[in-house]
Structures are given as structure tokens and as C-alpha cells.
Structure 1
Amino acid sequence: MTHAIGAIGAAPLVGPDLTQFFERDAIAVARDLLGCHLRVGDVGGRITETEAYYPDDEASHSFRGPTQRNGAMFGQPGNVYVYRIYGMHWCLNFVCTPGSAVLIRALEPEAGIAAMTGRRNNHALTQLCSGPGKLCQALGIDFTLNDRLLDRPPFSIAPSSPVEIIAGKRIGITKNAEAPWRFGISGSRYLSKPFR
């Protein structure tokens, strides 16, 4: 299945366009983010893998309602939610409707590759951003970038040409793990793990 959300080289989503894109069902947003071009300052790439989360989803940080930790998840559509897992890795999420979000699992590096390889101490292009923690390390994302909109510096996100999508079960979680809410670009070499 393919989808079209713009053309390569399209202008970044800002203001009402950003809100309109993200103020939708998390699965629809997770699918439509595939192929989008994400920039964090001078580094970034093409989003290749995502996962959707809902407020009534036991695996979601928003399941028990707003807290100091997850407050950004209840912000505006297009808000950034950054959190740490295992006490060492940052994860990047984009808010959809309040309490729902999309985890950005992987991307294909396009800009600032030298900076990303330096941060990761890894020159294997397919491994630079092949997982949520690796992606955040390569892009220089930490908690200081939590709770800000994607149309505000250092972030920008732009639509892409159509891509072929593959779906599967989410990974790295124990609750509601059977939900087929993980999405990737079919045939991409830039994924966290292959789809079964």
C-alpha cells in the first residue's frame, strides 16, 4: 500500500499545516510519517520506521493520565515528547491527539552524516539511526528538546513522496505487544529490526 503526503523537497510543515497533519489518529500519523524528512539543526534524514501509541494503550506512557514525566504527550499536535529508557537511551515521539503519540524508531541519514557518525562513533550508515536510542544519539536529542513543537528550532519536518508500507507487531515492550502498530518502509535497509 502506498500513500502520498507531498513531494520530495516540499516545504516543512508549520503552523496550521503542522497541526492538521498531527491532529489525527496515531496509526494514520505513524503511517504518513514514513518517508518524511526530519531535521534537528544540521542533521537528519528520512523517517523509515514508526510505532503508534494511544491513551488507552497499556504500553503507552499516557495510560494512567498526565504526569510530570509525560506532560508533553498532552501538549499540542506536533509536540515533541522525549523520554529515557533503561536509564541510558533517549526516545523521540511526536504527539498526535492528546495522550497519543508516534515513536520514531529509525531513519535513513541524509544530512550531517559526519556529525552523526562522530556522535555514534560508528561509520556504518545503516546502523547510525537503526533504533530509537541510536537515532536520538545521532541527532543529538536529549531531554532539553522535550515539549516543543516540530516547527520550532532546532526541529523541522517536511512531507515526502509516496512510500510502500509494511506493518507488524511493536517491539521492545511487554504490554499490548501484539498490537500491529509498528510501521516501516518496505525494503528499507534502515530499520531497527526486520519485519516478520
Structure 2
Amino acid sequence: MRLRRRPGALEVLRERPGIVPQKPEQLRGQWTVDEPLHVELGTGKGRFLALMAEKYPTISFIGMEKMESVLSFAVERMEQQNNVCFIHGNVADIHDYFADGEVDRIYLNFTDPWPKNRHEKRRLTYPAFLNTYKEVLSSRGDIHLKTDNEDFFTYSLEQFSRSGYHFNNLTLDLHAHEPEENVRTEYEEKFAKRQQRIFRVEAYLPG
């Protein structure tokens, strides 16, 4: 489904430099001092980060999103949170924004599965992306992935494994026994109402 362009979205981002740094590459390696840094790639309208930031005030959260029409909603939603900011940018450029070992956790929540084979390189669990994540993740870092697409989940597990990642808390039906700490995204709420299965895994690099 094509996203409808939101008039004035870019102005929303530019008018809030405290939440959306205009030159985020200049903050590379300086996002936090002592707090853990968690990054959501493809943050959408920001529901997940808003709830996470409220639940974990001692963690710094960054949402990365390339579509300004979507990101503008997330920015407006986050006016009252001081432990969240956003990068208006492409995941392919993630290493321009984060230094080696700077990120403690990456969230991949219901990212586009790009089901056609010719689009494989666009999947955020394509090997080139996974290798870049290795660089920006800290030694204790991990990746939390949630999706409703079983084929994409299977593909992601295969690529994680081939790239040297190990797994924790793998589930093929998250909501069957939903852990109390699970925070739902906008999409996840819709899928739950339809009783669709949610696939989830935590991937990490062994020390």
C-alpha cells in the first residue's frame, strides 16, 4: 500500500532539532555518555518507542526512519519524552550515524519483508545489513526481530545463522504466551486482533 504524502511533514522535522538532529552524523560516537543505546530501524509512527521510552527512562532510544511523512507523526508523539530522538535517514547509511560498538540493541519490528527474490538486498536481514550491524553493536549487543511474515522470519534465521549470530527466546507464536515485557507496535496490535501469529527472535554475537 502506497503511503499518502503528509503536507508539512518535512517542516515538522526541521522545526524540532532537539528531537530530530539536522546533522546526525556529527553525533556519531556521542549519542550517550553512560546510558544504554537502543535503536529501532524503520520506526514508523513511533508507538513502540514511545512506550519503551516511558517504560525504560534510563535507556536512550533512537528511531531511524527514511519516510518523513511517517516520521513526522512519531516526532509529534514524542514531544514529552527526553530519552528519545530520531534520525531521518536510510538504514543503508547506519554506519555514518553510529560508531563501532556504540549501539547496545537494534529493533527490527515488522520491517518490509520484500518477498520477491529480486528485492532480497532490500531486506533488513540481508547479509550486508547484518555485517554492518556487527560493526555498530557493542560486545553485549543484540538484535530483536518481530514479524508476521513466516517466510521472512525463516529467511532471517538462515541469514543470522550464516552471519555468525546465535539465538535467544525464539518463538513462532509470541502472543500464545505473551511475556509481560513485550511492547506492541501499531502493526502488532492490528495483527493481534486478526489472531495472526507473530514470530520473534533475539539474535546476538557470541563473545
Structure 1 and Structure 2 fold alike (TM over 0.5): no
- Which structure ranks higher in relative contact order (CA pairs < 8 Å, sequence separation ≥ 6)? 1
Q: Give 1 or 2: higher strand fraction.
A: 1
TM-score by structure 1 length?
0.31
Q: Give 1 or 2: higher helix fraction.
A: 2
TM-score by structure 2 length?
0.30
